[in-house]
Amino acid sequence: MLHYDFMQRAFCAGGIIALIASALGVYLMLRRQALMADMLSHVSLAGVAAGIYLHIDPTLTGFIAAVAGAVAVEYVRRAYKTYSEMSVAIIMVGGLSTAVILMSLARATNKSFTSYLFGSVVAVNRTELLLMGAVALVGGAFFYFMRRPLYQMTFDEETAKTNGLPVKWISLGFSVITGMIVAASIPIVGVLLVSSLIVLPAALAIRIAPSFAAALVISMGIGLAGVFSGLAASYQLSTPPGGTIAFVLLVLLIAGIGIRKATYKIRKLL
């Protein structure tokens, strides 16, 4: 299958996104913002719909909408400090309702929406691959240079503030990077399942990792394994890549938790 250009691009794009999205997932899970990826993907869908309706590149408009949504969520989160998850609900409703309205207005292009909703291996063109590479580079640099402040903020933002960290700006930067990664992941896994690529590897890594650094590495490994095997299965079975990758990641999560529990019980018996 790798002799096809589109499969080479899909594997390249999938590998890049798997690494960066699963690292992001660890921070999102620990900051209790796991739903943020889902929310931003719905906002991104509004951007895609706007792009199709206005005859502008939907990838670009989806990208801009996700980043704008990420900035908005930071401000709404601060307005609803006590109920921060409310910001997710508010912006998700805003994104999805806008997307539905624009999608109904752009009826003639329903077919292209399917690839944005569920992902497509043939949907990844050269421009998108370059965009993913750029996002991975920016995201990777952010996570590398900000790894210690982010670790500190993951525990407690107030303690981080007393340590002199510009928590507000780092948090905003983190949200923007999240929006960029979500938007870049959409061509491969689709809007509806983009959160699976971010949340599922991290969910398993957090359960089995002996340390924080190990959690990041394990999450990236699981993400990579899930995406590559999901893409291969998608090609062989002619199924949408988004659903197949999400399903493989779910199987890995269930198997991982099962093995961990079995190991724990065996150790107890010995």
Partner 1 sequence: MRMVSLRDVNFGYGDVPCLEQANVDIFFGEFVTISGQNGAAKTTMLKLMLGLLKPWSGTVELARRNAGGGKLAIGYVPQQIAAFNGAFPSTVTEFVRSGRHARGSWLRRLDQEDRRMTEDAIRQVGMWEFRHRKIGELSGGQKQKVCIARALAQEPDLLVLDEPTTGMDQESRLGFYRLLQAQVKDYGRTVVMVTHNLTEMAEYLDRCITLERKEDGGWKCCTTTSCSGHFAPVG
Which residues form the interface with partner 1 (CB under 8 A)? 30-32, 145, 148-149, 151-152, 154-156, 158-159, 161-165, 205-207, 209-215
Nearer to partner 1, 31 or 94 (CB): 31
Q: Minimal distance in Å, beta carbon 240 to partner 1?
A: 31
CA atoms within 13 A on the CB side of 174: 26
- Residue with smaller CB distance to partner 1, 219 or 244: 219
Least distance (Å) between residue 252 CB and partner 1:
17
- Helices in 119-166 by DSSP H: which ranges? 126-145, 147-155, 157-162
Residue type, 205: A
Min. distance of Cβ 207 from partner 1 in angstroms?
A: 7
Instruction: Closer to partner 1 by CB, 149 or 241: give it.
Output: 149
Length of the chain: 270
User: Which residue, among 226, 216, 211, has the nearest Cα to 256 in the 3D structure?
Assistant: 226
CB of 166 to partner 1, least distance (A): 11
Closer to partner 1 by CB, 93 or 261: give it. 261
Q: Which is nearer to partner 1, 209 or 232 (CB)?
A: 209
Q: Which two tokens stand for residue 196?
A: 């699976």
CA-based torsion, 230, 33, 209, 134: positive or negative? positive
Q: State in angstroms the smallest separation of the CB of 106 from partner 1.
A: 43
Q: How far apart are CA 217 and CA 255, in angstroms?
A: 19
CB atoms closer than 10 angstroms to residue 238: 7
Q: How far apart are CA 76 and CA 98, in angstroms?
A: 18
Residue number with CB closer to partner 1 (71 or 214): 214
What is the spatial distance between Cα 63 and Cα 66, in angstroms, rounded to a whole number?
5
Is-contact 52 59, C-beta < 8 A? Answer: no
Nearest distance in Å: CB 156, partner 1? 5
Q: What is the nearest approach in angstroms of partner 1 to the Cβ of residue 215? A: 4
89/147 with CB nearer partner 1:
147
The Cα 34–Cα 167 span in angstroms is 19
Contact 36, 88 (CB under 8 A): yes
